[in-house]
Structure 1
Amino acid sequence: MAPYESDDTTTARQAGEADERGAGRRRAARYVVPVTVIGVAAVTIGLVPAIADSGDPDLPKITAAQLIEKIAQSDVEQLSGTVKITTDLGLPDLGGLENSLASGAMGRGDADGSSADPTAKLTELASGTHTLRIAADGPERQKVSLLGSASEYSLIHNGEDVWGYDSESNEVFHGTTDGSAGDEGQEHQRPAMPKDFAEEALKSVDDTTSVTVDGTAQVAGRDAYKLVVKPRQSGSTVGAISIAVDHRTGTPLKFTLTPASGGAAVVDVGFTKVSFDRPAASTFDFTPPKGAKVTEEGEPDGGEQGGEQGGDERGREYGKPQGASKSEEDLAKGLDGLEVLGEGWNSVATFDTGAEGGLPTGSGGGDLDGFLGSFGDQVKGGFGTGTMFSTRLVNALLTEDGKVYVGAVTKDTLVKAANEAK
């Protein structure tokens, strides 16, 4: 880990110590993150102290190191508000197929899955613009509602209970935890908030990145500093990351990731309204509505009508694919051998699927090879031949010998990595 690019080593050391203290306070949680952000999470970030001397409102001057220390020390646990999230990955329109694939990957087909299951429901956040209403009161009580034009989906964690409710279908999903949001084994998911994205982007530091304070802004009626993160390396598809940090609490209020190619943000998540008062306890109460179909965690066919829970027997382990195909088993084995090539913003993840011959063939006579291939480009290099799949942020290369290379890097950088790994 490289030092901060500053002569003030005391400030750097204090910032590092504060980050460690902050890490102790932060509670781990599993959350839904668009797949492209995985590339950002692998990035390492170096600090270039800068002074916030422009913009509105007029706030005290602060360095980048001090602002990151402020984020690390933030211990806000009670809040409520409205969050707007926009994701524009440049993915092709699959006509809803992506939701079917997500359900299948979790071992839940459309025929027996619940529309209130958060695993499937929150995949909707991977594209388009959505509005969320959120509330939190410590690690044991959180509520997130995904607002639709004429419906609402709510995910409520209250003590040991986790409830998902889809008002459109009047379906309920029920699961349990040990009562702590910090449980590493917790399988239930929630959408990522600005703080989640910010922490992933600021996990470590080195000299591959510049981090500066670029003035101030108002977000959701709060005065905030703007922290801007940019790669120093060429070859990354990331243009810049902007994080608006509440100047009083140190809470990230807005996270924006723009691609190097320009245009609209790939990920833009921010509060439009926020309060740091404790929400009313009744916010987290939930009782299945009359006539609702209730599905217990691990029970594929759902429970009984009328808000009553189904039987105690678990049909299958939640989230585990049942009757996985040979190609799915090969993929799982490959992920166990995941390696990271390169460093910093040019990091490329690679693994061997063990399935030679390129794209898998669909079961039941379906030509999955041809279908997926229609969304990719054929490429050649020292590695051999393969298919390149691209979004506005992440590129992935699947070679004919069954290897996968993926990263938030340009196509040329990805091919170079595959050639060097051969």
Structure 2
Amino acid sequence: MAPYESDESITASETEVPRGRRRAARYVVPLAVTGVAVATIGLVPALADSGSPDLPEISAEQLVQNIAESDTEQLSGTVRINTDLGLPDLGGLESGLFSGAASGGDGGEGSAADPSTRLTELVSGSHTLRVAADGPDRQKVSLLQEAAEYSVIHNGKDVWGYDSRSNEVHHSTSGGTGEAEDVPATPKDFAEEALKAVDETTSVTVDGTARVAGRDAYKLLIKPRQSGSTVGAISIAVDARTWTPLKFTLTPAAGGAAVVDAGFTQVDFGKPAASTFDFTPPKGAEVTEQDAAEQGEGGFEPGEGDLPFTPGEDLGQGAEGMDTIGEGWNAIAVLDTGGEGIPSGEEVGGDFGGFLDSLGDKASGKFGSGTVFKTRLINALVTDDGKVYVGAVTKDALVKAADSHR
């Protein structure tokens, strides 16, 4: 059978995805990329499709159901991450910001092995990961670097971060509550969030077949029906035997390269060796212990990554002062900071001031004036009186929302 396209489109009622979780996903998917939420480990991009295998036809509804019912808990493999938010060249500022974050931002009190800060480097560029999982209590993700490696190991209640370059170790405990604290490590994590976004504003179709990491796969295509969203389409390659997502690609409405291209280059669905998840701090390593109180104040937890609020009808209940305008993929989160907006790059000065200016465009309307900070996916309007409008929508949509919210 030749590659095929299905005209069949499904809606929220057919996918049986909880409504509140669907709305949250519209923010989680793009904002997880921008803010490196989802512990950023979840960004697992991949190689291009190779071939179009001959597979039996399947409906979009059945493919979504198969993904939801997949019981894959054991795997290992190599993943390629390519993330292109369209951020300007920081001229060295980027590495300075990240190293400052890794040291606690105060001159060196933090650990270079702390996952909550170290993994922010995955927000841009290309990276290679080795991943392994054996159920909800054992996962390992290793970020391969030139002559070095950074790993996060979750084994039972223990979460270890290890930076081979600095020989530093970060240790915390996850509480051992199982799947809720699972370390995201494969395209399945992103696929699940994308499927939660399916409702009447979304088109879901089967878009032919592909070969990914040497395995036959169906391609599921998710597209907003609404205009004004910066999200063009989400493509998910789904393994035809295990129904595990192998590749996740998010392309912007404006065209060009994918914002996130996530997929396996090699995968094995066998049980990883138990020793894969063993970890003992190397001799001479500097070990930082993160106590429970620190973890409750923003420390890393495996599986962490959803936004600290639920968009849609529940948005205002999750964060004080939060509101929402619009619905579907065009929903815009609104926050009144009570402040005086963002200072201009000229006011800030230095490299960071130049960075602010490179991101921002001046905007004005009935709401007054402000600055739109932009990426290829997420745009945010910060008004001079301290209101923030943010969403995966165009600049014009943000200005219109601000005008209507006066």
TM-score interval, smaller chain: 0.7 to 0.9
Cα shift at 1:177: 2.0
Does the Cα contact within 8 Å between 2:325 and 2:331 map onto a contact in 1?
Answer: yes
Going from structure 1 to structure 2, the CA distance change for 1:229 and 1:321 (only over 3 Å counts) comes to closer
Going from structure 1 to structure 2, the CA distance change for 1:361 and 1:293 (only over 3 Å counts) comes to farther
The partner residue of 2:214 within 200, 217, 221 is 221
User: Are 2:81 and 1:85 aligned?
Assistant: yes
For the pair shown, the structure with the greater C-alpha radius of gyration is 1
Cα shift at 1:336: 2.5
In structure 2, stretches of 5+ residues that fail to align are: 1-6, 22-27, 38-50, 300-316
SS at match of 1:75: coil
| Corresponding residue number in structure 1 for 2:357 | 374
Paired amino acid for 2:62: Q
Does the Cα contact within 8 Å between 2:8 and 2:59 map onto a contact in 1?
Answer: no
| Corresponding residue number in structure 2 for 1:330 | none
| Corresponding residue number in structure 1 for 2:376 | 392
The partner residue of 1:113 within 94, 110, 113 is 110
The partner residue of 2:342 within 359, 364, 368 is 359
| Corresponding residue number in structure 1 for 2:241 | 248
Does the Cα contact within 8 Å between 2:323 and 2:334 map onto a contact in 1?
Answer: yes
- How many positions carry a matched residue from both structures? 357
CA RMSD of aligned residues (A): 3.3
| Corresponding residue number in structure 2 for 1:198 | 191
Tell me which stretches of 4 or more aligned residues in structure 1 moved more than 6 Å.
5-9
- Mapping 1:283-298, distance limit 5 Å: 283-298=276-291
User: Are 2:66 and 1:70 aligned?
Assistant: yes
Distance 1:34 1:151 in 2: 24
The partner residue of 1:134 within 131, 135, 140 is 131
TM-score (norm. length: structure 2): 0.79
SS at match of 2:179: coil
Does the Cα contact within 8 Å between 1:107 and 1:319 map onto a contact in 2?
Answer: no
The partner residue of 1:172 within 151, 154, 169 is 169
SS at match of 2:205: strand
Distance 1:164 1:7 in 2: 43
In structure 1, stretches of 5+ residues that fail to align are: 24-29, 39-54, 299-313, 323-332
Cα shift at 1:228: 0.7
Cα shift at 1:319: 6.9
The partner residue of 2:156 within 135, 154, 159 is 159
| Corresponding residue number in structure 1 for 2:24 | none
Percent identity of equivalent pairs:
64
SS at match of 1:282: helix
| Corresponding residue number in structure 1 for 2:141 | 144
| Corresponding residue number in structure 2 for 1:264 | 257
Distance 1:193 1:223 in 2: 17
Going from structure 1 to structure 2, the CA distance change for 1:157 and 1:191 (only over 3 Å counts) comes to same
Distance 2:101 2:326 in 1: 33
Bigger relative contact order (CA 8 A; separation at least 6): 2
Going from structure 1 to structure 2, the CA distance change for 1:319 and 1:151 (only over 3 Å counts) comes to farther
Does the Cα contact within 8 Å between 2:139 and 2:183 map onto a contact in 1?
Answer: no
Cα shift at 1:410: 0.9
SS at match of 2:334: strand
Going from structure 1 to structure 2, the CA distance change for 1:318 and 1:93 (only over 3 Å counts) comes to farther
Cα shift at 1:321: 7.7
Distance 2:9 2:84 in 1: 40
The partner residue of 1:317 within 269, 277, 294 is 294
Distance 2:399 2:14 in 1: 40
Q: Which moved more, 1:228-237 or 1:190-199?
A: 190-199
